[in-house]
Amino acid sequence: MARRFVLLLRGVNVGGVTVRSADLRSTLEDAGFTDVRTVLASGNAVVGSDRSETEVRGAAQDALHRRYEREVPVVVRTLDDLTGIVRASPSPATPPRTTATSCSPPMRVTRAR
């Protein structure tokens, strides 16, 4: 069974870099992802894949580079991880108003001494 991943494309749909949802969906499907869902015109998508997070990131970035002839950084998280982040939020807001920041690769946080 394919795992679900959230793809967050960085630097698209701003500054003249336009990625249309239909183009994003077909590009990701052509790269072998299944059940591709795009989120409005955000440059974000949810996909299915049996690959690891690292492999998903590489395949998505390669496909986007071929399609748009430019580097498109992609932050990848499992859908379960992102759902857990939203649920653990101390904010009283409910989705879709919850905001989370994600770094790629994930940052290691240590306590200040």
Q: What is the 3-state secondary structure (H, E, C) of the chain?
A: CCEEEEEEECCCCECCECCCHHHHHHHHHHCCCEEEEEECCCCEEEEEECCCHHHHHHHHHHHHHHHHCCCCCEEEEEHHHHHHHHHHCCCCCCCCCCCCCCCCCCCCCCCCC
What is residue 100's predicted lDDT score, i.e. its pLDDT?
A: 54
- Kindly state whether residue 99 falls inside one of the protein's structural domains: no
Geometric angle at alpha carbon 67, from 65 and 69, rounded to 5°? 50
pLDDT beyond 60 at 85: yes
| Residue of 56 and 81 predicted with greater confidence | 56
pLDDT-derived band at 10, boundaries 50, 70, 90 = confident
Per-residue pLDDT, averaged over 96-113, amounts to 52
- Average of per-residue pLDDT values in the chain: 79
What is residue 33's predicted lDDT score, i.e. its pLDDT?
A: 96
Rounded-to-integer distance, Cα 82 and Cα 10, Å:
17
CATH number at residue 29: 3.30.70.1280
- Kindly state whether residue 97 falls inside one of the protein's structural domains: no
What is residue 68's predicted lDDT score, i.e. its pLDDT?
A: 84
Count: domains in the chain: 1
Q: Give me the percent of the chain exceeding a pLDDT of 70.
A: 70
Find the domain containing 30 and state its range: 3-88
pLDDT beyond 90 at 80: no
Task: Find out whether 8 and 74 touch, Cβ atoms under 8 Å.
Answer: yes
What is residue 28's predicted lDDT score, i.e. its pLDDT?
A: 94
Does residue 105 have a cis peptide bond before it, meaning omega lies within 30 degrees of 0? yes
Positive/negative CA dihedral, 86, 42, 13, 17: positive
- Kindly state whether residue 77 falls inside one of the protein's structural domains: yes
For residue 12, the tally of other CB atoms under 10 A from its CB is: 21
pLDDT beyond 50 at 38: yes
